[in-house]
Amino acid sequence: MIRLGYLEKNTFLEAVNKKSGANVLNCYQCGKCVSTCPVSSYMDYPPRVIMQMIKLGMKEEALKANSMWFCLTCSACSGRCPREIDIPAVMEAIRHIAIEENYVNKTKKVKEIRTFHNIFLDMVKRYGRNYELRMMAEFNIRTRNLFKDMHLAPKALLKGKITIGHEHVKRGKAIRKMYAMADKLEKSQKG
Amino acid sequence: MTKLTYFPGCSAHGTSEEFDHTLKLVMKTLNVELEEIPDWNCCGATSAHVMTENLALSLPLRNLVLAEKLENNTMGIACASCYSRMKSTKKYMDEHPDKAKELTSSVIDEGEYTGKVEIKSMLQFCYEEVGVEKIKSLVKKSLSGLKVACYYGCLLTRPKGVTQFDSPEYPMSMDRIMEALGATAVDFDYKTECCGASFSISRTEVVHLLTGKILEMAKEAGADLIVVACPLCQSNLDMRQPDIEKHLGKKIGIPVMYFTQLMALAFGYPEKELKLSKHIVPVEEALSNIGKVVETPQQPTKTKKAVPSAESEAK
Amino acid sequence: METQEKEVKGSVQSAENPGLTAPADWQPVIIGILCNWCSYAGSDLTGTSRIQYPPNIRIIRVPCSSRVDPWFIIKSLQATADGVLISGCHPGDCHYIAGNYYARRRFLVIKNLLNFVGYHENRVQFSWVSAAEGAKFAQVVAKVTDDIKKLGPLHRYKKENF
Amino acid sequence: MARVGVFVCFCGANIADFVDVPAVVEEVKKIREVKYAVYYKYMCSDPGQQIIKDAIAQYRLTSVVVAACSPRMHEKTFRRAVSEAGLNPYLLEIANIREHSSWVHQKNKKAATEKAGDLIRMAVAKSIANEQLHEISVPVTKRALVIGGGIAGIQAALDIADAHIPVVLVERSPSIGGRMAQLDETFPTLDCSQCILTPKMVDVASHPYIELIPYSEVIGLEGYVGNYKAKIKKKASYVNFSLCTGCGACTQKCPVKVPNEFNMGIDKRKAIYTPFPQAVPNKPVIDAEHCNMLLKGKCGICSKVCEKGAIDYTMKDEVIEREIGAVVVATGYDLWDPKPYEEYGVGRFKDVITSLEFERMVSASGPTGGLPIRPSDGKVPKTVVFIKCIGSRDEAKGIEYCSKICCMYTAKHAILLHHKVHDSRAYVFYMDVRAAGKGYEEFVKRAQVETGTTYLRGRVSKIYKMGDKLMVRGEDAQLGQVVEIEADMVVLATAIIPYKTNPALARLLGISYDKYGYLSEAHPKLRPVETAKAGIFLAGCTQAPKDIPDTVAQASACAAKVCGIFSGDALKKDPMISVVNPDYCSGCQNCVQVCPYQAITTEEIPITRGSKETRTVAKINEGVCQGCGSCAAVCRSMAISLKGFTDSQIINEIVSI
Ligand SMILES: Cc1cc2nc3c(=O)[nH]c(=O)nc-3n(C[C@H](O)[C@H](O)[C@H](O)COP(=O)(O)OP(=O)(O)OC[C@H]3O[C@@H](n4cnc5c(N)ncnc54)[C@H](O)[C@@H]3O)c2cc1C
Ligand SMILES: Cc1cc2nc3c(=O)[nH]c(=O)nc-3n(C[C@H](O)[C@H](O)[C@H](O)COP(=O)(O)OP(=O)(O)OC[C@H]3O[C@@H](n4cnc5c(N)ncnc54)[C@H](O)[C@@H]3O)c2cc1C
Ligand code: SF4
Ligand code: SF4
Ligand code: SF4
Ligand code: SF4
Ligand code: SF4
Ligand code: SF4
Ligand code: SF4
Ligand code: SF4
């Protein structure tokens, strides 16, 4: 049971609206997003329910959910939402709030998703470009699942789908500096 | 000769070499010179925007700034994912010039951003700038007999406010190009369903489910092969197909080709230029349909016979 | 108004013109111009409900708040009034479709004019009172009266004309 | 010099307890113009009124002030009394010393007395500037114009005509009947639409007081209430109706086939056609856009087969005029085109149809003989999914508002499906079930319980094809699960919208319309059938979506309003309206812009008497002016005065305090 009562100020709603540029109060719970979303069945709460949670100020529950980590930003839902809500932007907003405020969902699946993204970003940081084979390998090492997808590798290599060497951005320094500066900016914006 | 700024994206020289290669052949025939952005970097697709705000904007923005240094007004992007990131960043920067200034001055060290370069996907470029008529006129070998299902994925046409291209629900541009080449484009209701590309590595089971459905529907629609315009779509649909078949417990065996490969073929390039050996699901059988007669699906006759006509009643 | 000789016990200082003072028992004159259909009917209801309010207001009935010519306001301030209240129907309820919108717009212009000549903008107030808002009318009058009392007597620029 | 009499009332104790009335009277007597002042216990009583009447005669009073209760209470009473004494009733003024003084300052008799004195002083000052006014009488042409011949227009026309008032009914299409003629059985009682409508249509055609002008449009309206002149364009029908017997030989032989709009394009009609078998008038017209003869000068078959020689290819559009006194606009509604719902395969999937198409199919006289049929293969569908709120309540693809009737007709369609195909299964995707009306919820329950229709709460997100089935995917929000239904047919309850032609019609009539194109009523609650322009009324869906019962109620209300206008030979109007003094008018036209009733136009007058050169001045139509005074307030030249509330009256009040 959830107990509701006087809510002086729904700061969670305000924060999400501000960050996403959407107005979650517009949602009238039609569920069109839910049946549109290709991954709603993997989510703890599908988009429609997330909207309702935000409206009710259920911050912790919403931020701890895995939903926004599964969102593929495919924009299928927002293209169909009759109330024109930018749902992926809302998902992105709560994802960022969850990171900032340390609410991130702790399940293995979400961890793996985050690991992947971190590897990706590291890769780009190092080389300025990404490189699939290496990413795959690193992912497997980090998630302790050495043989995942490895059956694909020989065939892919053989067919030239994946190459062993890879290209770098020449001015790699510039990229690394960008990372540092973006990070600094992020922090200054918060503080 | 028209010049076009070109952003190949990270896959072009890896998984999607055949795309890159055939794209260049096609552009040669179309008399378009591709000018690659010097020292471009990864646009951060699939990951940056998930994790951080400023980095998600800065990675594409650096490319936009570099692109402005070339003289061309338009930039063509091969990968749908890169296209989406770059175009939405451009839209954001055009609407928030202050943010652009902040990032170009404090994060990226490559100069100013003015927003003068238009962004198009290569598909969009072929459809809008070249045009179906021109493509048709250049066909040397008609692809008649070949039935294709055009798969656009989510990011080429969505969100509408960003891409400003074709329909987000049932686009037809690639279908029209295929028809111009002589092929038959089948009705395909899963054209824009997401294939889950960004979970390709981290949540493979999701990809299996989503991609499996797309492949099945293409088969159901009677296509000999699927045509795509994005390397991520291609590798998900092609490379993972054997796994999906295992997962579904049935054979699908539908090859997945780039629209540029088929354009190159129709423009008269020999098959070996298409780099068909790179495909995991073999394409040769599908291509052997070229030249065969296709029976067009019977248009069911109207309700006529089943019902008394209104005319007889009007008497 | 009767001019009576009053004993000066203390004094009220004008907020606009600190040099001016008035007797402590000074009572302002307020002219209320009310539209027939909403606010006048509302003020009648205040009466029938026997709701009490300060006696300083003198009410003039007009068909619609849009009938209020800015000149009436200026004339009121020139003549006897220390303040003016204009009251009409709520937005969307105007008996004459949209008259109260015109009135409202004109009123904003008048406020600027008042500021320009150095009168405090509270001297002229505008309100929406419906035929059902007897209690609200009393509140509005009380507030306006209070506001004007705080401002003190109006320094009339052309007093000699009257 | 004015001679004013002042009559102050005690109202028993109501006034006298809190206002020192005798003192007030003494005070008032000091006013120069006051020739007589008196108090009495109950001024409104007969003896009280007699005191006034006697004083008028005795003191030759030129105006009267009664200091008593609110004018809203007894102004009429005292006006009557004054006029019985031979004084113009508008020379009376009332000082409201009860509601505005004795009742609201009960703790301060001194202040209340002083205030009462001021209020009387003000009334006296005003009354001095009062003028004699006379009720305005506007002659009326007792003929009504009804625009649109749907059920709204039909009902309004019949009700007015039954009161022996002539009606001109102008319908744009070749037949009256409107949308209701296209319906099968109707909710909430399921009586057959044709059975209840056709007799009314026939009544219209045969009514001695109704002039039916079909295939025509109103193209101009001039004048004001009671005195309008309408221009009506009769489109060329190429059939001489006075010769044609309606035998139908021509329509049978015509070789040109065109999609039949009456049947939503499910079948075909000819280039010469009567829209439906029960059409009124039951005469064909030639569709000039498709007739070979008119397009290419070849054919002429219909003329050959017509024994009466009724076909006339040279017929031209014709403009006629009618003088009328009031207008009822009943131009009905159109249906929203669901094309933007690409995710439902609209346009691609033949078996995704609209509700009106379904309605035509299940209609016994419809193109499929009353059976729902899949357009793709002619098979009878077994599983049918109905989707509500298509285009309605959808800001992204359609319009924001709720179309009001689709919840009900969808329930009806589910029931009708069950009646026609016994072993069928209906699913309804809904967001809310809006069934507020007499017997409506019960009707929906009937659909849910008796026919076993399954209601699922959620908006469908996608329809795709699997073989010859339509896969309908949506969330059942109650289950919290995505469901997919394998359907044979999908019916979209498309939104109701006004005709695109409505704004142009509104501009030509001088009435307003909202952002969607619906015509606007004068007040949403209290004047729902009137427009802001006197003498023009609204009935039916042209004002907002509504069902037949509401449409008919509104139409009858319009008829009552029209009959009210025509109840006397002239319209009596309050004389408290504005007039322009052309000598002062500078022609700035500020007044023209603010008048909410478009009562002000301009005219050209000679610059000086007898001069040939002219200047523009404002002119107020006394038939239209409602006396709001907006114009008087904006006129910088002080050329306008609002009678009863002139500048001098109000200024007198102000300066008398
Ligand atoms: C699928 C469906 C099912 C329905 N079922 C029911 C039901 O079961 N029960 C129920 O109560 N209601 C039902 N309705 C609603 C019903 O159709 C309407 O309430 C009713 O028809 C409204 O009548 P109307 O006269 O206002 O408009 P209309 O019927 O649209 O008539 C308007 C007329 O005006 C004419 N016109 C338009 N513009 C002009 C012009 N400029 N000049 C001259 N003429 C013009 C048109 O040609 C038309 O003849 C249903 C509606 C739909 C769509
Ligand atoms: C809580 C609430 C809020 C509402 N809010 C709104 C709103 O915001 N907007 C809106 O449009 N509507 C609103 N309504 C609806 C609105 O009140 C009604 O639509 C409207 O009052 C109906 O008017 P009526 O004249 O039909 O009935 P009533 O107002 O009930 O009048 C009937 C009269 O008949 C008298 N009477 C009864 N029997 C007899 C008899 N046998 N002989 C003589 N006299 C008799 C009664 O004494 C009464 O005076 C609201 C209703 C409720 C309950
Ligand atoms: S589609 Fe939009 S309105 Fe409907 S439930 Fe989802 S977010 Fe809410
Ligand atoms: S954008 Fe995210 S929430 Fe929306 S449909 Fe795609 S995956 Fe689902
Ligand atoms: S005239 Fe008015 S105040 Fe006088 S007795 Fe009659 S009701 Fe009372
Ligand atoms: S054949 Fe002649 S008479 Fe008969 S319906 Fe046609 S026009 Fe009329
Ligand atoms: S003349 Fe025209 S309407 Fe007549 S039969 Fe020929 S095509 Fe039909
Ligand atoms: S009446 Fe029902 S179906 Fe129609 S728009 Fe309103 S809620 Fe939707
Ligand atoms: S506002 Fe006055 S001056 Fe101007 S046109 Fe109207 S009447 Fe004439
Ligand atoms: S008084 Fe009002 S209605 Fe009459 S003309 Fe002036 S503005 Fe129009």
> Are C14 and C20 in contact, with CB atoms under 8 Å apart?
yes
Confidence of residue A130 (pLDDT cuts 50, 70, 90): confident
- In ligand 6, the atom with minimum distance to the C-alpha of D305 is 1
B91 touches chain A (CB under 8 A): no
D413 lines ligand 8 (CB under 6 A): no
Portion 43-72 of C in contact with D at CB < 8 A: 43-44, 46-48, 50-53, 55, 58-64, 66-72
pLDDT, residue A148, reads 66
Residue A41 CA, ligand 3 centroid: distance in Å: 16
**What amino acid occupies position D634?**
V
**Over chain C, what is the mean pLDDT?**
82
- C-alpha B160 – ligand 4 centre gap (Å): 15
pLDDT at A167 over 70: no
Look at residue A173 in the predicted model and tell me its pLDDT: 80
The answer, for C138 touching chain D at a CB cutoff of 8 Å, is yes
In chain B, what are the domain boundaries?
Answer: 2-122, 140-287
D392 C-alpha to center of ligand 8: Å? 7
Is B2-122's fold the same as B140-287's? no
Side-by-side strand order, sheet with C124-128: C57-62, C30-35, C83-88, C124-128
How is residue D519 annotated by DSSP?
B
pLDDT at D72 over 50: yes
CA separation for the pair B157, B172 (Å, rounded):
11
How far, in Å, CA of D479 to CA of D476, rounded? 5
Query: Across the strands, what pairs with A90?
Result: none
What Cα–Cα distance (Å) separates residue A73 from each residue in A92, A131, B101, D557, D622?
8, 22, 26, 55, 65
Fold of B2-122: Glutathione S-transferase Yfyf (Class Pi); Chain A, domain 2 (1.20.1050)
Which ligand sits closest to the CA of D305?
Answer: 6
Ligand 4 first shell, C-beta below 6 A? A 36-37, 39, 47, 71-77, 87-88, 91
How high is the pLDDT of residue D437? Answer: 94
A83 to D395: CB separation less than 8 angstroms, yes or no: yes
Report the residue from D365, D378, D462 with minimal CB separation from B305: D378
pLDDT at A165 (0 to 100): 55
Q: What is the pLDDT of residue B232?
A: 86
**Side chain identity at residue D439, one-letter code:** G
User: How many angstroms does the Cα of residue D272 sit away from the middle of ligand 6?
Assistant: 10
The model's confidence at residue D187, banded by pLDDT at 50, 70 and 90, is: very high
Q: Which chain B residues touch D268 with a CB distance below 8 Å?
A: 309-311
Q: Can you tell me the mean pLDDT for B273-298? A: 84
- At residue B1, the pLDDT reads 73
Please list, residue by residue across D233-270, b when 16 or more beta carbons sit within 10 angstroms of its beta carbon and e when fewer do.
bbbbbbbeeeebeeebbbbeebebebebebbbebbbbb
Phi, psi dihedrals of residue D8, rounded to the nearest 5°: -105, 135
> Higher pLDDT residue, C73 or B197?
C73
Pocket (CB within 6 angstroms of ligand 10): D 577-578, 594-595, 597, 599-600, 620, 625-631, 642
* Number of DSSP helices (H) and strands (E) in chain C, helices first: 4, 6
Q: CA B50, CA B44: separation in Å to the nearest integer?
A: 10
Mutate to test the interface with A, among B7, B21, B41, B208 (most CBs of A within 10 A): B41
Mean local confidence (pLDDT), D14-19:
96
Kindly report, residue by residue over D280-331, the tens digit of the pLDDT.
Answer: 999 999 999 999 999 999 999 999 999 999 999 999 999 999 999 999 999 9
Cα gap D279→D268, rounded to integer Å = 17
Cis amide linkage into residue D188, ω under 30° from 0: yes
Percentage of chain A lying above the pLDDT 90 cut: 47
Say if residue D596's pLDDT is above 70.
yes
Q: Give the pLDDT confidence of D352-382 residue by residue, as tens digits.
A: 999 999 999 999 889 999 999 999 999 999 9
pLDDT tens-place string over residues D540-588? 999 999 999 999 999 999 999 999 999 988 988 889 999 999 999 999 9
E strands within D296-440? 318-324, 326-329, 333-335, 352-354, 383-390, 425-430
Query: From residue D468, how far is each of A10, B300, C59, D216, D471 by CA, in Å?
Result: 50, 11, 78, 45, 10
Q: Is A36's CB within 8 Å of D462's CB?
A: yes
Q: Which of residues 96-135 of D touch C (CB under 8 A)?
A: 96, 98-101, 103-108, 111-112, 114-115, 117-119, 122
For B10, C80, C146, the CA distances from C6, given in Å and listed in that order, are 94, 18, 22
- Name the average pLDDT for chain A: 85
Statement: residue B313 has pLDDT above 70: no
Residue C4's pLDDT is what? 41
Residue percentage of chain D with pLDDT more than 70: 100
Residue nearest to atom 2 of ligand 8 (CA): D407
pLDDT at residue D120, as a whole number: 97
Paired sense of beta strands D600-606 and D614-620, if any: antiparallel
Can you give the pLDDT at residue D655? 93
pLDDT digits (tens, 9 = 90+) for D618-651: 999 988 898 999 999 999 899 999 999 999 999 9
Query: Which one is predicted more confidently, A165 or D361?
Result: D361
Label residue A144 by pLDDT band (50, 70, 90).
low
Query: Does B55 score more than 90 pLDDT?
Result: no
At C160 the pLDDT is: 41
Task: Give the domains, in start order, of chain D with CATH numbers.
Answer: 4-128 (3.40.50), 144-226+320-332+499-565 (3.50.50.60), 249-305 (no CATH), 337-494 (3.50.50.60), 578-656 (3.30.70.20)
In this structure, how many other beta carbons lie within 10 angstroms of the beta carbon of residue B272? 8
Q: Quick check: A128 contacting B, CB < 8 Å?
A: yes
pLDDT value at position D400? Answer: 96
Chains that contact B by 3+ CB pairs under 8 Å? Answer: A, D
At C17 the pLDDT is: 66
CATH number of the C26-151 domain: 3.40.50
Tens digits of per-residue pLDDT, D391-409? Answer: 999 999 999 999 999 999 9
Give the model confidence (pLDDT) of D504-513 as tens digits: 999 899 888 8
Give A128 Cα–ligand 4 centroid separation in angstroms. Answer: 28
Report cis status (omega within 30 of 0) of the bond before B270.
no
C-alpha to C-alpha distances, D160 to D156, D324, D531, D557, D561, nearest whole angstrom: 6, 13, 18, 10, 10
Burial class from Cβ neighbours inside 10 Å (0-12, 13-18, 19+) for residue D298 reads exposed
pLDDT tens digits, one per residue of C31-51: 999 999 889 999 999 999 999
Nearest CA of chain B to the CA of A102: how many Å? 13
**Nearest neighbour of C58 by CB, restricted to D118, D626, D630:** D118
Kindly report, residue by residue over B67-115, the tens digit of the pLDDT. Answer: 998 989 999 998 888 898 899 899 999 999 998 998 888 888 888 899 8
Sign of CA dihedral B281, B285, B286, B290: positive
| C-alpha span between A129 and B39 (Å, rounded) | 10
Q: D476-533 pLDDT, tens per residue?
A: 999 999 999 999 999 999 999 999 999 999 989 988 889 999 999 988 888 899 998 8
Asked if A96 reaches chain B (Cβ–Cβ under 8 Å), the answer is: yes
**Among the ranges given (B274-283, B300-309, D86-95, D442-451), the one the predictor scored with the smallest mean pLDDT:** B300-309
Alpha-carbon separation of residue B285 from A134, B183, B218, D149 (angstroms): 33, 15, 16, 65
Residue with tokens 């006397």: D568
Walk me through the domains of chain A, giving residue ranges and CATH numbers.
Answer: 11-100 (1.10.1060.10), 108-190 (no CATH)
ipTM attached to this prediction: 0.82
Question: Does position D2 have pLDDT exceeding 70, yes or no?
Answer: yes
**Within its chain, how far is the Cα of A15 from the centroid?**
18
Q: What is the mean pLDDT of chain D?
A: 95
Does D103 sit in the ligand 5 pocket, CB within 6 Å? no
pLDDT of residue C138: 97
Q: Between A1 and D416, where is the model more confident?
A: D416
**Degrees to nearest 5, angle at CA C150 with C145 and C153:** 85
What's the confidence (pLDDT) of residue B295? 62
pLDDT band at A150 (very low <50, low <70, confident <90, very high): low
Burial of B54 (0-12, 13-18, 19+ CB in 10 A): buried
- Chains near C (3 or more Cβ pairs under 8 Å): D
For D182, which DSSP code? G
Number of residues in chain D = 657
B248 close to A (CB below 8 A): no
| Long-range Cβ pairs for the range A151-156 (8 Å, 24+) | A152/B239, A152/B240, A152/B243, A155/B280, A156/B239, A156/B280
Closest CA to D516 of D493, D544, D480, D492: D544
How high is the pLDDT of residue D645? 96
**Three-class DSSP category at C161:** helix
Mean pLDDT along residues C99-121: 78
pLDDT at A58 over 90: yes
CB contact under 8 A, B170 and D342: yes
Chain B residues with CB inside 8 Å of D379's CB?
Answer: 306
The upper half-sphere exposure of residue D20, i.e. CA atoms within 13 Å in the direction of its Cβ, equals 11
Q: What is the predicted pLDDT for the residue at C159?
A: 43
Q: Which CATH class is domain B140-287?
A: alpha beta
